[in-house]
Amino acid sequence: MKRIEREKVIRNAYRTTILILTICCFFLGTVLVIHEMAREYEVHVLERQLDAKGVVENEEGLYTGIQLFLPEEIYVASGVTIELYDSQITSLGERILQYHVKWTCAVGRNMSRKFSVTGKEELAGTYPLIFTVFDDNGTQVVKATTELHIVHASTESFSLLTLGDSLSCDTATYERLNELTDGQIVYMGTRGVGGSLTEARRGFSAADYLKATGYDMEEPIEEVHPFYNEETGTFDWAYYKETTGFDPDAVEIFLGTNGLSVNPKENGDNIIQIVKNIHEHDPKLPIYLVHTLYPASQDGIGSWNNQGYALYGDRYKYEEDQKVFHLMTYLEEALKEEENLYCVPAGICHDSANNFDMLEEPVNPHSETMVQVPTDAVHPGRAGYRQIADCLYSVICGTKAQWRR
């Protein structure tokens, strides 16, 4: 009897032990699950923070920093002020304000939203220029470097043919170029902007110049633009020169706004095809490729209309900035080995925050408080076109000695 009772006690103790162990395992498992959920939540919060700062995860699962773009060389002609805008050299656009940035250079001014430098004869020379981005802890996130060249002004006469869209159709650009060169530029083209000849057509994209596109937005109306050769079925520089008689010392190409896309390849490749065709027939001809401009603020994008119809009805500032940034970097990379090609960094040197014409309107329909709203999303006011001219002129002054014809 005692043996039976002893075995019963042992069995109960065994069952109790098993029950306690089971409860402990369940409790430990629950703790581990809760811990893992907490860890996943922390990771999710971190990813959201990183995404808010513009940090992305690459294919290897490693976090990479902001994309920056500075051309290998920046030119500033004597008598001209060139500015580089923080939000326009980064893939973040205006979100760069979430970081802390600084410019480092022996000349110029490191300012809150830009680097500004005025060319002076006594400062002529080359200076390292560094742009650095820091996080809230003061840790360096990313940096970019370039060479800043302050160069002598040039008033030597030369001829220039501008191939472009509506951004090449404002007289302020040519007026400013004439001021800077003392009227020594001979403009060529079958069309005119004020008193200057050009090949600028409103609404044209690079794709339009590659096919038989007509033009009826201004006089003279064209059944097809003069670069199109029916025999070759595309843009033909040799054909243009033969039929028009124009043989310029340099060509300016200012395209890209029409045809902008999240993926820059199609638009970029069309621009590249024009560059390649010109150099196929005229390999030593200097080509100045002007990067297109960043758009106005979201108020400008949202307000731009034609007789009440929204022109940019579904677009927003960040994505439009991305389109410009990636087209600019795509062209720079694809054409980096192209000889006698000079990129003009107008995209990063144009003050898109302040250069668009403004209209004063109430902050809401019933308020007496007024606010300034851009009237256009793409075409700057007079100050913007003059700033573009300063940039183009500076690059020409810095590279003109390299022309070989």
Mean pLDDT along residues 370-382 = 96
309's tokens: 């119809």
Residue type, 79: G
Mean pLDDT along residues 171-189 = 97
Residue 287 is predicted with a pLDDT of 98
Mean pLDDT along residues 153-169 = 96
Residue 246 is predicted with a pLDDT of 98
Q: What is the DSSP string of 203-230?
A: T--HHHHTTT--B-SSSSPBSS-TTEET
Rounded to the nearest 5°, which phi and psi values hold at 246?
-80, 135
Pick the CATH number of 64-151 from 3.40.50.620, 2.60.40.10, 2.40.50.140, 2.60.40.1190: 2.60.40.10
Mean pLDDT along residues 82-97 = 94
DSSP 3-state assignment of 241? helix
Indicate the range of 21-25, 34-38, 266-270 predicted with least confidence: 34-38
Give the span between the Cα atoms of 402 and 340, in whole angstroms. Answer: 8
pTM of the model: 0.84
**What CATH number does the domain located at 158-402 have?**
3.40.50.1110
Percent share of the chain, pLDDT over 90: 77
Comparing 208 with 3, the larger pLDDT belongs to 208
Indicate the range of 65-74, 164-173, 235-244 predicted with least confidence: 65-74
Q: What is the pLDDT of residues 283-333, one digit of tens each?
A: 999 999 999 999 999 999 998 888 888 888 889 999 999 999 999 999 999
Residue 8 is predicted with a pLDDT of 59
Q: What is the pLDDT of residues 222-254, one digit of tens each?
A: 999 999 999 999 999 999 999 999 999 999 999
Give the span between the Cα atoms of 303 and 144, in whole angstroms. Answer: 35
Residue 50 is predicted with a pLDDT of 46
Mean pLDDT along residues 182-196 = 95
Confidence check: pLDDT of 62 > 60? no
Residue 75 is predicted with a pLDDT of 98
239's tokens: 């054909």
Residue 312 is predicted with a pLDDT of 86
Mean pLDDT along residues 113-121 = 97
Comparing 237 with 52, the larger pLDDT belongs to 237
| Average pLDDT over the chain, rounded to an integer | 89
